C-alpha cells in the first residue's frame, strides 16, 4: 500500500503514515483497566518450571468479551502521532479496533478473525480484505490470531507447548526462553520467544518474538497493572517493532474497560471505496 499524503480535517493534520501497517501494529496492544496500579518487583523465589507455568496459567483472566477505550502515541518510521480509539475482543472469535484521533471522528476500522483481516481507511476511502497471513508478511514472524489475543490480555500463548522453555533468573526477574517453541500438535513454524516475569505475582513484564533470519523483533512491555476480578490485567503498555533499519513503538493507556458484556463489531465497506493491497 502506498503511503498517503497529508490529510486535513477540522483544521487538524494527520501525519503521513502507512495506515494499514499502523492499524496492524495497534492490534497487538493489550487490554487494560481503569486506575492503573504498579507491580513492584521483589527478589525472585525458588520456583520450579512447572510451578511457574502453572502460576502463569492460573493468573490469566477468564472472560468472553472485553472492551476498552485507549489513548497514546505512535512513532512509525520516524514520524510521531497521537492515537486514540476503541478495542473490543470476543474471545477466540474476533478482535475489533476503531481509530478515532480527530474529535472522536473515526478514521479507520479493523476486524481480525482467526483466518481474516479486514481494514477500512475512511481518510482515503479504501479498504483491505485478506487472510491472517498478512501479519506474517508484514512482520516476518509467525503471528496468528490467538497470539494477538493473548498479547492484548497480557497472557502467554495457550496453543504453544510449554516443555521447550528454559527458566533463568536475570536481575531479580524470571526469564522464560524457547529458541524454537512449537504449537501444540506441531502445526506451523516454531518461534523464538522470551518472556520476562516479575517474581512476586508472576505476571508477564515483557514478551518478545524474534525472527533471527530477518532480524525483526516484536516486543510488548507491560508497564502498569490493575487487579481485576482477582486477576492482574495490564493497563499501560508499549509495543515495539524493530528490524535492521528502524525501531517503531506504540505507547497505550486504557480506560473505560468492561468485561463480559457483549459488544457490537460492525464492519461494512461503502460501495464507493476502492480495494488496496498491503505489502511488507
86 SS3 class: strand
Query: Does residue 171 form part of some domain?
Result: yes
Tally of CB atoms within 10 A around 169: 14
The answer to whether position 275 is within a domain reads: no
Q: How far is CA 154 from CA 28, 33, 204, in A?
A: 10, 12, 7
Query: What is the CB-side half-sphere exposure of residue 112 using CA atoms within 13 A?
Result: 28
Number of structural domains the chain divides into: 1
Residue among 153, 60, 119, 81 at smallest CA distance from 275? 119
At 138 the pLDDT is 66
| Helix (DSSP H) and strand (DSSP E) numbers for the chain | 4, 16
Per DSSP, 16 falls in state P
pLDDT of 177 reads: 95
pLDDT of residue 29: 32
What are the mean pLDDT values of the chain's consecutive 10-residue runs (280 residues total)?
Answer: 33 37 44 30 62 87 87 80 90 93 82 94 92 74 84 89 91 91 89 91 89 81 80 82 81 84 93 83
Query: Does some domain include residue 2?
Result: no
Residue 41, in any domain of the structure: no
In a domain, 31, yes or no: yes
* Global pTM value: 0.79
Backbone angles phi, psi at 126, to 5 degrees: -130, 165
Residue 215 maps to a domain: yes
3-state DSSP assignment of residue 24: helix
> Which residue range(s) make up the domain with 167?
14-35+46-269
Phi, psi of 164 (to 5 degrees): -100, 0
Using CB atoms within 10 A of its CB, is residue 272 exposed (0-12), middle (13-18) or buried (19+)? Answer: exposed
CATH number at residue 250: 2.50.20.10
Q: Is residue 249 part of a domain?
A: yes
Element (H, E) at 53: helix 49-59
Residue 66 placed within a domain: yes
Amino acid at each position: 500500500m502506498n503511503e498517503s499524503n497529508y490529510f486535513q480535517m477540522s483544521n487538524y493534520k494527520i501525519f503521513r503514515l502507512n495506515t494499514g501497517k499502523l492499524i496492524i501494529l495497534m492490534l497487538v496492544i493489550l487490554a487494560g483497566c481503569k486506575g492503573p496500579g504498579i507491580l513492584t518487583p521483589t527478589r525472585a523465589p525458588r520456583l520450579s518450571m512447572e510451578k511457574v507455568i502453572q502460576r502463569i496459567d492460573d493468573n490469566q483472566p477468564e472472560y468472553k468479551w472485553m472492551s476498552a477505550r485507549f489513548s497514546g502515541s505512535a512513532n512509525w518510521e520516524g514520524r510521531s502521532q497521537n492515537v486514540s480509539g476503541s478495542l473490543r475482543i470476543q474471545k477466540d472469535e474476533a478482535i475489533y479496533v476503531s481509530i478515532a484521533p480527530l474529535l472522536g471522528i473515526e478514521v479507520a476500522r479493523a476486524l481480525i478473525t482467526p483466518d481474516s483481516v479486514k481494514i477500512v481507511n475512511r481518510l482515503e476511502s479504501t479498504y483491505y480484505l485478506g487472510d491472517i497471513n498478512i501479519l506474517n508478511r508484514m512482520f516476518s514472524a509467525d503471528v496468528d490470531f490467538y497470539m494477538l489475543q493473548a498479547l492484548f490480555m497480557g497472557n502467554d500463548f495457550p496453543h504453544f507447548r510449554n516443555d521447550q522453555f528454559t527458566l533463568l533468573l536475570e536481575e531479580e526477574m524470571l526469564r522464560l526462553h524457547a529458541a524454537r517453541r512449537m504449537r501444540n500438535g506441531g502445526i506451523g513454524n516454531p518461534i523464538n520467544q522470551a518472556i520476562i516475569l516479575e517474581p512476586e505475582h508472576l505476571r508477564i513484564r515483557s514478551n518478545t518474538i524474534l525472527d533471527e533470519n530477518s532480524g525483526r523483533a516484536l516486543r510488548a512491555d507491560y508497564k502498569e497493572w490493575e487487579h481485576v476480578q482477582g486477576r492482574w490485567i495490564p493497563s499501560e503498555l508499549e509495543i515495539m517493532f524493530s528490524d535492521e533499519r528502524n525501531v517503531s513503538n506504540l505507547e497505550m493507556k486504557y480506560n473505560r474497560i468492561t468485561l463480559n458484556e457483549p459488544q457490537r463489531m460492525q464492519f461494512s465497506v461503502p460501495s464507493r471505496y476502492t480495494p488496496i493491497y498491503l505489502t511488507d
